[in-house]
Amino acid sequence: MEIYSAIQALVTQALSVQLINIEDEIYARNQILSLLALNDFPEEVKLDIDLDIPGLLDVIVNFAVKKGIVDDLQAEKEILSAKIMNVFLPRPSDVNKEFYGKYSKDPAEATNYFYKLSRNSNYIQTKSIAKNINYVTETPFGELDITINLSKPEKDPRQIVRERELKIPSTKYPKCLLCIENEGYVGRINHPARSNHRIIPIELSEEPWFFQYSPYVYYNEHSIILSGEHRDMKIDRGTFQRLLEFVEKFPHYFIGSNADLPIVGGSILSHDHYQAGNYEFAMAKAVDDYTFSLSNYPSIQASVIKWPMSVIRLRGKDKEELVDASNVILEKWVNYSDPEVNIIAYTNETRHNTITPIARKRNGQYEVDLVLRNNRTSEEYPLGIFHPHQDVHHIKKENIGLIEVMGLAVLPARLATELVEIEKFLLGIPHQVKDYHMQWAKEIKEQYAASITSDTVKDILKKEVGFKFLKCLEDAGVFKRDEVGQKAFKRFIEQL
């Protein structure tokens, strides 16, 4: 009887969060019965299961595993889970109609509706996201956000074996994880389930673009804006136009783009896309270090901000002027070299300079942050001269993408257990500290010798992890915040 209770509880939850109306109840229940190969339903069911939607889905999917309806593999369980939730979801056309009906009154009302739908439908993986370890570290540059990412499960070795056994033929549908063809796609063992996925069409610079939320949100209303065309990431004048047009349409959101080169870019460079959301990062709160003027754009306020990376901020009311000025700075930077500080624009035909741009509206003005990036490597720094250096790889070795640039560290899951062992070391009890952490652990123990206790050790370690992330950002800055670096930055500013 537990399965029937779980099904009815799920339907009741769907009613309570307004995924469906009372007229849909029997239909939805019957659709779920079909997915579970059940042919009947008892007249009376006890609703004695006190679980939320993700918890109820786990009960139902585990029943399907026991009955042999799906194998006990994460991919197959997620496919069934998404199919079940799709029962409660409107068609894309109805979602879009509702979204734009609300948008006509207030853009924030529209995004609130869509975010709530994406969470309640379990497309946004709230249960998995809750596993993440999150905190802030106070630094001279403001409060940096730290996330140890436990939400994305590592691939089950059995699933890897199954993929080999099935010899799944390569397919170009969907072309990638971001393509619009993912909407409603059932999924397969080597491609995520997307039955419960919905996207909103928006027009940017007279092109079809699409708005969706990230399944694994790292901050409030973490969204992805993707091109309708499967094309490579590219930062150019059109990028600045689209970013500013987006914040004009959604003034309560920021939007930014990963850089378009390896090492300094994001994880997906094969599909042009941006990330947006209703969140104020530490970088957005950064104050001006100093201001300067752009001779061809007298109405624009330009500044270098106080941030560990090298950021030019432009403020103004004229959208087109900001697009033009941003593009001029991009073109100057792409071809700019200063060997004294290791900045070289090209190696033969290979370009090294690009920009990570971010846009927002604030105090009646547009703001554009242009983060200067360079992806050169060297014998000393084979992973990147302006990339986290070897002394921080034990904490973070991955690219510094858009989210990190703005001040949110996404750190590997391994740290959740490794930091516990460092705590033991600091407290002088038996431990299994990894060799690559040991030097750092000894330095912390020496620095805090007088204040390490069982009550303080966690906070001390959190603080030091935060400062390791700050060092990652400083490594990624092209003009260092020392006398040599700041003089070099001003040499580039003079070019503008």
Does a structural domain hold residue 161? no
Query: 265 with 394, same domain?
Result: no
User: Is residue 370 domain-shared with residue 396, that is, in the same domain?
Assistant: no
Q: Is 180 helix (H, G, I), strand (E, B) or coil?
A: helix
- Please say which residue of 344, 366, 386 terminates a domain: 386
Q: Are residues 254 and 329 in the same domain?
A: yes
Looking at residue 266, its pLDDT comes to 80
Residue 440 domain-assigned?
Answer: yes
pLDDT for residue 127? 93
- Statement to judge: residues 363 and 223 lie in one domain: yes
Domain boundary among 386, 410, 436: 386
Same domain, 244 and 380: yes
Whether 283 and 337 map to the same domain: the answer is yes
Q: What is the pLDDT of residue 267?
A: 80
Asked if the structure places residue 484 within a domain, the reply is: no
337 lies in some domain = yes
pLDDT in tens, the chain (496 residues): 699 999 999 999 999 999 999 999 999 999 999 999 999 999 888 887 889 999 999 999 999 999 999 999 999 999 999 999 999 999 999 999 999 999 999 999 999 999 999 999 999 999 999 999 999 999 999 999 999 999 876 555 565 565 556 666 667 899 999 999 999 999 998 899 999 999 999 999 999 999 999 999 999 999 999 999 999 999 999 999 999 999 999 999 999 999 999 999 888 899 999 999 999 999 999 999 999 999 899 999 999 999 999 999 999 999 999 999 999 999 999 999 999 999 999 999 999 999 999 999 999 999 999 999 999 999 999 999 999 999 999 999 999 999 999 999 999 999 999 999 999 999 999 999 999 999 999 999 999 999 999 999 999 999 999 999 999 999 999 999 999 999 999 999 999 9
pLDDT tens string 22-52: 999 999 999 999 999 999 999 888 887 889 9
Structure tokens of 301? 């306020």
Q: Domain check: are 240 and 314 in the same one?
A: yes
Burial of 298 (0-12, 13-18, 19+ CB in 10 A): exposed
| Enclosing H/E stretch for 250 | none
Q: Are 413 and 149 in contact (CB under 8 A)?
A: yes
User: What is the pLDDT, as a whole number, of residue 452?
Assistant: 96
pTM score, whole prediction: 0.94
Residues 304 and 391 in one domain: no
Count the neighbouring beta carbons within 10 Å of the beta carbon of residue 317.
11
112 located within any domain: no
Residues 277 and 413 in one domain: no
Domain count, the chain: 3
279 and 225 fall within a common domain: yes
Reading phi first (left if > 0) and then psi (alpha if -120 to 50, else beta), residue 342 is in left
Q: 408 and 358 share a domain?
A: no
Q: What angle do the packed helices 237-249 and 319-334 form, to 10 degrees? A: 150
> Is residue 235, in this structure, part of any structural domain at all?
yes
Give the end of a domain, one of 371, 386, 401: 386
Looking at the domain assignment, is residue 406 inside a domain?
Answer: yes
Q: Express each pLDDT in 175-190 by its tens digit.
A: 999 999 999 999 998 8
Domain that holds residue 256: 218-386
Q: Say if residue 315 is in the same domain as residue 412.
A: no
82 within some domain: no
Give the pLDDT confidence score for residue 391 in this predicted structure. Answer: 97
- Write out 259-274 in H/E/C secondary structure: ECCCCCECCCCCCCEE
